[in-house]
Structure 1
Amino acid sequence: MEESLVEESESGNACTDEAAPALIAVHPTESSVVVAVGSELRVFDLKEDCAVSPVDDLGGPHHSASIRAISFSFDGELFVSAGDDKIVKIWKTGSWNCIHTIQSEKRVSAVSISQDSGYVTFADKFGVVWIMSLKEDRDTKAVPILGHYCSIITSMKFSPDGRFIATADRDHKIRITVFPRNALKGAHEIQSFCLGHTDFVSCLTFVCTQDQSKGFLLSGGGDLTVRLWDYSNGTLLYTCALGNEAGILEASEIEENNKTAVTDICASSNGSLIAVAVQSYNGVMLLSCDFSARTLSCVKKVPMEKSYIPTSLALVSSKEHLWTVMGASNLSSSDLSNNKEQLLTRVRIVSFIQKDFSDACSRDPVLLEDSQVPGGEKLLMQLQGSLDAATQEAAFAAAAAAVRTSLQNMMIKKQYSVERRELRKRNRNDKKIKS
């Protein structure tokens, strides 16, 4: 009886204790936009100018807890979502029908789709990366491919050429793994480790140049830096400290219980524009990369309203739009005023006016008004909540605090008594699935 009570408590707390940041993803051709907040997937089809409701005709379970990771495939034909409910769902973006539902043994913290759309990978909070093939007509099971021993994987990306998979964790590490031809048998060849962050690594992105198709790797983390890597040999090329640039104290001067981190980073396909979200900055920072000199510099800041601190970014190079979202799941009812059942998000878009050159310094960022955004009012009605201005400011302040606390909690290893650990072991979900 005691074990069943603990089991119920643990399963409930796993999904409800921590707030999850709102996420945004944009189709590679900007034909659709997805916002994930809580267990909701909000989709707007920009091509057809209409809201879309993803459906699962296969009868699989819907997301029932916070979605922690979303991603489009390189060609935009697939979309994957996963999170605290230990479910990974793969969607066909042409119809927004679910084509696969995968049961994970642990909560999922990162997802990615291979460059050829043949595989979906997802990482759990125990530090294991799983893979499932999409090449077979018959249903296949996910199998482990690699792992960061007992360390939460915070970000996972395939290189543009499909040869490598980069994984980052809360213990300061970035691992570059050779993606094998027969991936279902495991990825055993480590290309390099990118070591240099002094706190958890929160986000990764690859950038390419016309002269170098292999490109470079960018990372951001809890040490309030963005770092440029030659990932083929793990060499740290440059470190850009954002503390002074964002008007924030250096990470070493911030109190331990009030740290500021880089929460998201995205880049144009050629690396000419790099956008960074910082946990305490109400706006977006734009970096420029000099690939010949292998340096980074902060060239512009795009300030937004005081209460708006982006939780996720998405950049579509061909359309010159940087999409941002702010919001969080699991806010208390008082944070949402009379709309207790509604999860509030706010979408802001930065547009860049192209001039004579293609680097970030030659772009004039313009923060679009709501009437100017692609999709207009229809899109905002689908992706955002609808609260009055006064309530919005209070809710966004609560969202910023909730996301900060959630990020801090995720990066701290929980401590349990010996008795509690034994009870958790006997009621682990991976044992239930295997039995």
Structure 2
Amino acid sequence: MEEDSHLEGGENNREIEIAPALIAVHPTQDSVAVAVGSDLRVFDLRTDCGVSLVDDSVEPFHKDSVRAIRYSANGKLFVSAGDDKLVKIWSTDTWRCISSVSSEKRVSAVSISNDGLYVCFADKFGVVWVVDIHDLDVNGALSNRKAAPLLAHYCSIITRLEFSPDGCFIVSADRDFKIRVSVFPKKPLEGAHEIQSFCLGHTQFVSSLAFICSKDLPQGFLLSGSGDSTVRLWDITSGSLLDTCEVGSQAALSESDGSGESCCAVTDLCAIQDSNFVAVAIQGLQEIILLGCDFSSKTLSVAKVVSITEENFIPTSMGSSSAGELLWFVTGISKLRDADHKSLARLKVVSGLRKKGHPESPDQHKPVVLGDEEIPGSQKLLEKLQGSLSIDQSVFSAAAEAIKTAMCNLLIKKQYPTESREWRKRTRNDRKAKQ
């Protein structure tokens, strides 16, 4: 009876675990993808119409929340993965799933090597896997691939994966405050055994990573966002911390939610191409903070705060392309309690971010939140990516409240009493399989 009650509680917790909406933008802004819950929505800006995905795999489409989406650097591939333990590789020419890879655990992060030859993904057990896609035919039949272990963090959920601009390193961040910089090997299927550095300094989970570069510094610097309300600037070669920007206090959000945990975690970072700016989304904040990076002094500073006028719009994910000056961001969650709409999404776009200037001179750029009719694709795009334009505002008010707590709670370690920990150990899925 006791084990039944444990099981019931675990299943209930799993059932109501929500997933924040995600957005990804094609490198040349040919298309935009939004994931909310298990729903993957794509709009083609070239043809000005929504995309119908084709998936002929044994397990077609995602059956549970998508936790990571990513375009390849050349835009030919798109990868989605999540709680159903499936990593799906799509051709962006046909939007057909050309390979479906099974993971042993739920997937928490994905990345694609700069040359487009390897897909890497991380699971909830702290292992990073690599899939060789050298001879993957983007126009051919579905291909089943197997993943090989690349590297691992010690039993810590990996939150983000990023390749360095030159493709020489793969950077992995985890829930236990660590950032590992590994040399990406010439033969990845044999593992990444050489660690270049560790970037240590965060005091809460690392939620996001981004590289910011300049013409004089193509290797760039690494930026990391965290639950400790900071964005930090790193030299990945040495692992040196170059600067720390207290974005939580800058946004006047340093108060606690009463639980002892920070209520102003950084939830996403997005570097703006061909500029020295990076956009920062903060849990519970209806604004985007624009940081400027001074490459000569290796420092970060707040350049501007972009307010979002729409009520209850709290960004959960951001994306931009190398071709345009637009910053795309989305708000939304899946599995909202007591709502007719189980998956909600709203999308906004900011323009005017590409003009270069010293981070102390915010007047040289004037970011503007575009109206719905000004967004590329306008009404057609919004109908496709948001799913519905007629959701009552009260529903989004409830969603906004859920987002404020959920974005942080997804990564905060759960504390279990001793008896619960022992039960969880005995009923782990991997142990069940061995029995």
User: TM-score scaled by structure 1?
Assistant: 0.90
2:55 corresponds to which residue?
56
Query: 2:306 — aligned with what?
Result: 302
Query: Alpha-carbon deviations, 1:103-124, whole Å to 9, x = none?
Result: 1111111000111111111101
Query: What is the Cα deviation at residue 238 of structure 1?
Result: 0.3
Amino acid of the structure 1 residue aligned with 2:24: A
Tell me if the contact between 1:20 and 1:403 (Cα under 8 Å) persists in the aligned partners: no
Equivalence for 1:404: 405
State the match for 2:115 in structure 1: 116
CA change 1:10–1:410 in 2 (3 A) is farther
Deviation at 1:341, TM superposition (A): 4.6
In the alignment, is the contact (CA less than 8 A) between 1:21 and 1:403 conserved in 2?
no
Of the three residues 346, 366, 369, the one matched with 2:368 is: 366
- What displacement does 1:62 show? 1.9
Which stretch has the larger CA shift, 242-251 or 256-265? 242-251
One-letter amino acid matched to 2:402: A
Question: 2:111 touches 2:120 (CA, 8 Å); kept in 1?
Answer: yes
Partner of 2:79: 80
Of the three residues 283, 289, 296, the one matched with 1:292 is 296
Between 1:138-147 and 1:400-409, the stretch displaced more is 400-409
Question: Would you say the 8 A contact 1:320–1:351 is kept in 2?
Answer: yes
Partner deviation per Cα, 1:204-232 (whole Å, 9 max, x = no partner):
01111111221110000011011100011
Contact 2:272 2:353 in 1 (8 A): no
- Return the match for 2:241 from 236, 241, 245: 236
Give the conservation status (yes or no) of the 8 Å contact 1:15–1:65: no
2:167 to 162, 168, 177: 162
Q: Find 2:192's aligned residue among 187, 192, 195.
A: 187
Q: Please state how far the C-alpha of 1:363 moved relative to its aligned partner.
A: 1.5
Query: Equivalent residue for 2:343?
Result: 343
- 1:221 aligned residue: 226
Change (3 A) 1:343 1:50: same
Contact 1:72-1:78 at 8 Å conserved across structures: yes
- For the pair 1:203 / 2:208, whether they are aligned, the reply is yes
Aligned AA (2:298): R
Deviations 1:129-155 (A, max 9, x none): 011100145744101110111111111
Counterpart CA distance in 2 for 1:290 and 1:227 is 13
Q: CA deviation at 1:408?
A: 1.5
Task: Tell me the CA shift for residue 402 of structure 1.
Answer: 4.1
Contact 2:118-2:133 at 8 Å conserved across structures: yes
C-alpha contact 1:202 1:262 (8 A) present in aligned 2 = yes
- Please tell me the root mean square deviation across aligned C-alpha atoms, in Å: 2.6
The letter of the residue matching 1:132 is: V
Preserved contact between residue 229 and residue 262 of structure 2 (Cα < 8 Å)? no
Aligned counterpart, 1:148: 153
Task: Give, in whole Å, the separation in 1 of the partners of 2:2 and 2:253.
Answer: 48
For residue 289 of structure 1, what is the amino acid of its counterpart? C
Aligned to 1:337: none
* Structure 1 unaligned spans of 5+: 335-339
Deviation readout 1:269-288 (Å, 9 max, x if unpaired): 34522100000210211010
Q: Deviations over 1:165-208 (max 9, x none)?
A: 00001111100000000000000000000001111110001111
Say whether the 8 Å CA contact 1:263–1:312 is kept in structure 2: yes
- Structure 2 unmatched runs, 5+: 137-142
The structural deviation recorded for 1:16 is 2.3
Q: 2: distance between equivalents of 1:424 and 1:49?
A: 50
Partner of 2:139: none
TM normalised by structure 2 equals 0.90
Compared with structure 1, are the counterparts of its residues 356 and 72 closer, same or farther at alpha carbon in structure 2 (3 Å cutoff)?
closer
CA distance in 2, matches of 1:412, 1:221: 14
Separation in structure 1 between the aligned mates of residue 396 and residue 180 of structure 2, nearest angstrom: 37
Mapped partners of 2:48, 2:8: distance in 1: 43
Q: 1:71, 1:113 within 8 Å by CA — same for their partners in 2? A: yes
Q: What's 2:140 paired with?
A: none
Following superposition, the deviation at residue 356 of structure 1 comes to 7.4
